[in-house]
Chains A and B, each alone.
Chain A
Amino acid sequence: MPDNWNFVLAAYGLAAVVLVAYWRRLVRRERALPGQSRSTARRP
């Protein structure tokens, strides 16, 4: 049977995209909470 590396890459690539997207969603929602936002303003 051929190795079908493209299917292996597709499976692992999809998993990486989904898991990173979920992690980023959690981080973004946490930062959006009041008192959690990071100020980008420069201090004098």
Chain B
Amino acid sequence: MRVVGGVTLVALAAGLVMAFGVAPREMTQGNVQRIMYLHVPSVWVAYLAFAVVLVASIVYLARGLEGADRLAHASAEVGVLFTGLTIATGSIWGKPTWGTWWTWDARLTSVSILFVMYLGYLLLRGMIEDPDQGARYAAVLGIVAAFNIPLVHFSVYWWRTLHQPPSLMKPGPGTMPGVIVAALMVNFVAFSLLYVYFVAKRVRLLRREAEAAA
């Protein structure tokens, strides 16, 4: 665990160097565009976390493995954390570029629904006293809520939004300069490692708490 933590710290430091020292100042937005190196990897981790919740929930319902349930629980918690960060950093970025902290456009609304659904997932787990029943209900919600992920991602294509369409994770050739893509990729790796570290730590904590309660 310490090794993963150490590698994650190094990767996060490299991500900061890439975002502030290597990536150029963007011509239209200026330096405020550097928030992208935090905002986009955050939403990537949120997507990853909720995809893991989906798979682990299916495995739990099919096989009844407690480990799968713990993984889903841990991943949902970390996913909510990063969705919250995505919303907050997007809002901070939106003020100087769009002139508003918030607008109810399709992307912002759908990501808010995603946030509330997984917050509900965590609340549901805390509300039901029987752990097996709570795990089953949470697994069903974890599967249903995952259908919102494509809605969030494609909302910028399906509706007219203030939010720009994705520059990465889209069909067709990329339009971003290589150095910006490289800075983004380093931060994708760093945030993915942070996700792995947090989830591993949270799964271990859930296992030890269950052992202590038994």
Contact assessment for B38 and A15 in the assembled complex, using a CB-CB cutoff below 8 Å: yes
Interface on chain A toward B: helix, strand, loop, or mixed SS? helix
Which B residues fall within an 8 A CB radius of A?
Answer: 25, 28-32, 34-35, 38-39, 42, 81, 84-85, 88-89, 92-93, 95-96, 194, 198, 201-202, 204-205, 208-209, 212
Contact assessment for B81 and A26 in the assembled complex, using a CB-CB cutoff below 8 Å: no
Interface on chain B toward A: helix, strand, loop, or mixed SS? helix
With an 8 A cutoff between CB atoms, is A2 at the interface? yes
Contact assessment for B35 and A7 in the assembled complex, using a CB-CB cutoff below 8 Å: yes
Contact assessment for A3 and B35 in the assembled complex, using a CB-CB cutoff below 8 Å: no
Contacts of A2 in B (CB 8 A): 30, 96
Contact assessment for B85 and A15 in the assembled complex, using a CB-CB cutoff below 8 Å: yes
With an 8 A cutoff between CB atoms, is A19 at the interface? yes
CA distance A12 to B187 in the complex (A): 13
Which A residues fall within an 8 A CB radius of B?
Answer: 1-5, 7-8, 10-12, 14-15, 18-19, 22-23, 26, 29-30, 33-34, 36
Contacts of A5 in B (CB 8 A): 31-32
Contacts of B32 in A (CB 8 A): 1, 3-5, 7-8
Contact assessment for B38 and A11 in the assembled complex, using a CB-CB cutoff below 8 Å: yes
Given known pairs A1-B28, A2-B30, the reply for A11 and B209 (CB within 8 Å) is no
* CB-nearest residue of chain B to A19: B194
Q: Which of B88, B198, B212 is close to A22, meaning CB atoms less than 8 Å apart?
A: B198
Contacts of A33 in B (CB 8 A): 205, 208-209, 212
Nearest CB in chain A: distance from B22 CB, A: 16
Contact assessment for A8 and B34 in the assembled complex, using a CB-CB cutoff below 8 Å: yes
CA distance A3 to B96 in the complex (A): 9
Contact assessment for B208 and A15 in the assembled complex, using a CB-CB cutoff below 8 Å: no
CA distance A30 to B208 in the complex (A): 8
Contacts of A1 in B (CB 8 A): 28-30, 32, 96
Contact assessment for A7 and B96 in the assembled complex, using a CB-CB cutoff below 8 Å: yes
Contact assessment for A15 and B84 in the assembled complex, using a CB-CB cutoff below 8 Å: no
Q: A3-B31, A11-B92, A18-B84 are in contact. List 15 more A-B contacts (CB 8 A).
A: A1-B29, A1-B96, A4-B30, A5-B31, A5-B32, A8-B32, A8-B35, A11-B38, A11-B39, A18-B81, A22-B81, A26-B198, A26-B202, A33-B205, A33-B209
CA distance A34 to B213 in the complex (A): 10
